[in-house]
């Protein structure tokens, strides 16, 4: 990544952090109520009084995990900004609950057992690489999200996946498999993009009223667990997409 591209991504990442600090609770509530309406057949959340900052186009992912063991339960998102961020979060929340083809649709009885995460993505930047080895040498573990595209085949990992797959070679191998590529395959026309993401989470979104979002650095190994329902901002963490 060139110096100007790195600077641009850093600027977008800082903007995402400010956006989540100001409106992360609103986005969690919007995602929660969109999921609740989709799963129960209830009324859609009202789209009035949306903060101006959330009316600009943005790219988001919404992730559902099981509270007991942290297993993925649904994750859908947008790789590029294509609609107002608030609308993007609402639509991706519904899709994560009902249309992730890897899982059965979420039922009303599942809701109390699920944690919720909303991620905001920076714009993806093309990363010209000479080979797979070149890509692996240039990845920044824990920070880079990655998109591989080979014709109609395309796959994306959020930066959160580094927590599960910390080795760069394994990270790329798993993403290639997700894209339908063989482990030994590196097509000559494959395109590579990287991006950053920042996220806000809530462990008990279905039972807790919205509380202020707290900004916190990455939790280091051995850090005490946060109280249930506490929202936090963090650098990319733990889920597959």
The parent domain of residue 163 ranges over 125-194
pLDDT tens string 222-231: 233 333 333 3
Q: Could you tell me if 142 and 236 are in contact, meaning their C-beta atoms sit under 8 angstroms apart?
A: yes
**Residue 171 three-state SS:** helix
What does the pLDDT look like over 66-94, one tens digit per residue? 999 999 999 999 999 999 999 999 999 99
> Phi and psi dihedrals of 58, rounded to 5?
-160, 165
Q: What is the pLDDT of residue 5?
A: 67
Do 224 and 115 sit in the same domain of this protein?
yes
Which pLDDT tens digit goes with each residue over 109-152?
999 999 999 999 999 999 999 999 999 999 999 999 999 999 99
According to DSSP, residue 172 is labeled H
CA-CA distance, 1 to 177, in Å (whole number)? 25
The pLDDT value given to residue 204 = 80
Give the strand pairing for 232-234 and 214-215: parallel
Query: What's the total number of domains in the chain?
Result: 2
What strands lie across the sheet with 153-157, from one edge to the other? Answer: 125-126, 191-195, 145-150, 153-157
Q: What is the domain-level CATH number for residue 184? A: 3.30.1490.150
Domain shared by 7 and 106, yes or no: yes
241 within domain boundaries: no
Average pLDDT over residues 185-197: 95
């Amino acid at each position: 990544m060139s110096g100007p591209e790195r600077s641009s991504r850093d600027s977008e990442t800082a903007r995402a952090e400010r956006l989540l600090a100001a409106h992360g609770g609103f986005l969690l509530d919007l995602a929660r109520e969109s999921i609740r309406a989709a799963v129960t057949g209830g009324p859609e959340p009202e789209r009035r009084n949306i903060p101006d900052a959330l009316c600009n186009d943005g790219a988001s992912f919404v992730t559902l995990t099981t509270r007991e063991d942290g297993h993925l339960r649904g994750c859908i998102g947008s790789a590029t900004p294509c609609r107002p961020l608030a609308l993007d979060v609402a639509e991706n929340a519904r899709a994560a609950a009902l249309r992730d083809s890897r899982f059965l649709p979420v039922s009303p009885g599942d809701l109390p057992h699920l944690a919720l995460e909303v991620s905001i993505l920076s714009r993806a930047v093309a990363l010209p690489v000479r080979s797979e080895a070149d890509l692996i040498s240039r990845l920044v573990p824990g920070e880079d999200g990655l998109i591989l595209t080979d014709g109609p085949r395309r796959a994306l990992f959020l930066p959160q996946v580094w927590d599960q797959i910390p080795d760069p070679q394994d990270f790329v191998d798993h993403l290639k498999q997700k894209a339908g590529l063989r482990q030994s395959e590196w097509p000559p026309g494959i395109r590579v993009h990287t991006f950053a993401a920042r996220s806000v989470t809530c462990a008990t979104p279905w039972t807790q009223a919205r509380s202020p979002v707290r900004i916190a650095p990455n939790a280091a190994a051995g850090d005490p667990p946060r109280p249930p329902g506490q929202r936090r901002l963090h650098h990319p963490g733990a889920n597959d997409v």
